[in-house]
Structure 1
């Protein structure tokens, strides 16, 4: 298979799937290395394809009709899951986390937590990896890009985050 055909197939596969696909799975499917897939994805992104890398793999983001907002929050690591639950509860998607690092500038981590199942997987991965969230670099202060179906959903997310003391 030529690289052009492979890239077209990758886009088609990602568009048709609602679940993330790991780079290694794509590599195995197309009989190439994971590094070739990483290069293909970079080229596809440069050509305008809205492909996002998440901890679970690559997804094609086609939620163009959703309302987006950036929220600024501050909390301890122990409150992280509670904060994310509020967003998911109102149908929100946590697209990313953003911190402002004094040396590197803005650091963005893609999350794409769309529902309670995604959140449970994220929490399990977080605990098993014994990782620290990006917000630890900024004493708990961070941003999230969130999206929802309506402005009302965004309003309810922001209202409850404020009520619980998460909002800045």
Structure 2
């Protein structure tokens, strides 16, 4: 298989799979190194494919054109991360990312793609097991999330729940 065929294989697998695919899995399946996969992904991105690297692997952004997306400004402490994420996914929302404004680097964005309560649990386990600090620690808890929902009613339920818990920053 040449490099063009390999990239076509990667693209096809990502387009036909709902779950993220780890780079190491692609490398093993295609008989190349992880570095070759990273290069192939970069080339596919340069060709315009919306490939996203998540903590769980690569996905192609196949956003439902009818889906509703909103960027919400929120604030909370570290102890409320799990509750905030659960508040979104329990109403069918997806937490696509976390964004902070850094005084030196400008906007810093981390891809999350948290869709289920299981994803929330895995994310929280990573925070605990890796002694990792969330990006919002740099901004006193202030951060943005891009939230995706299937319809306006679900989005409003998410916003209402986050407001009820005083997570959304209001004017």
TM range (shorter): over 0.9
- The aligned counterpart of 1:67 is 68
Tell me the alpha carbon deviations over residues 53-92 of structure 1, each in whole angstroms, 9 at most, x when there is no partner.
Answer: 1111111221232110000000000000100001001100
For the residues of structure 2 that align with 1:166 and 1:49, how far apart are their CA atoms? Answer: 34
Structure 1 position 167 matched with structure 2 position 165:
no
Which runs of structure 2 are paired with 1:1-168 in the superposition (5 Å)? 1-65=1-65, 66-168=67-169
For the residues of structure 2 that align with 1:154 and 1:55, how far apart are their CA atoms? Answer: 25
| Alignment TM-score, normalising by the size of structure 1 | 0.97
Counterpart of 1:144 in 2: which secondary structure? strand
Tell me the alpha carbon deviations over residues 112-163 of structure 1, each in whole angstroms, 9 at most, x when there is no partner.
Answer: 0111121111111221111000001111000000100001111111111111
For the residues of structure 2 that align with 1:115 and 1:22, how far apart are their CA atoms? Answer: 19
Q: Considering only aligned residues, what root-mean-square deviation do their CA atoms show, in Å? A: 0.9
Counterpart of 1:48 in 2: which secondary structure? coil
Counterpart of 1:71 in 2: which secondary structure? strand
For the residues of structure 1 that align with 2:10 and 2:30, how far apart are their CA atoms? Answer: 9
| Alignment TM-score, normalising by the size of structure 2 | 0.95
Unaligned 5+ runs, structure 1: none
Unaligned 5+ runs, structure 2: none
Tell me the alpha carbon deviations over residues 20-79 of structure 1, each in whole angstroms, 9 at most, x when there is no partner.
Answer: 111111111111111111111111112111111111111122123211000000000000
